[in-house]
Amino acid sequence: MAFRIALRTAAPALAAVALSLAVAQGAPASAAEHGAIPAPTAPSAVPAHPSARQTAPADDNPFRAMELDGLKAEFRFMCPAGRCVGYWSLALTEDRLKRHYQGGEFFAYAPAKGEFGFFLDTDIAYRTVKDPRRVRLVDSDFTRRNPRVEIRYGDPDRPRAAEVVATATTWM
């Protein structure tokens, strides 16, 4: 009973605060339309899924200390079973995507130890992929444990003979 009374007393104050915030947020937009202040710019990255409302701080990028050649770090969202999760991954740059690839598969390889990594497609891990747009390497034990990780194209059964497409190197 006491909770209901407190809620009834606080409800008008909460409604007034919410209304004043809505009006205050609308004022800059109205002023921008009339040239009084510059219009706000759109955010640079929009989440891939409408229910994904989080944003990724730039300092959370686990790849920021790596030297990337042919790879770029991207913050993305996946929504398995309707629950969205944000994650950082490495993907091929546009110039590497434009190259013509034929007769092989992409795979992640650590030449120092001869280890293979996995690519992530939504929430499924693949050892190899044929489409360069599906090359997506996530922050994992594989990338942390190996100072140099290479994306190679060719026959995964003969990794040393495959073409090095991109690299990620951690300098220690």
Residues in Cβ contact with 81 at an 8 Å cutoff, skipping those fewer than 6 apart: none
- How far apart CA 113 and CA 33 sit, in angstroms, is 60
Q: Which residues, listed in sequence order, are joined to residue 71 by a DSSP beta bridge? A: 92
Share of the chain above pLDDT 70, in %: 65
Maximal C-alpha separation, the chain: 76
Contact (CB, 8 A) for 117 and 108: yes
Tens of pLDDT, residues 71-117: 999 999 888 888 888 899 999 999 999 999 999 999 999 999 999 99
| pTM score, whole prediction | 0.65
Tens of pLDDT, residues 33-71: 444 444 444 333 444 444 444 555 556 899 998 999 999
Return the structure tokens found at 9: 């007393």
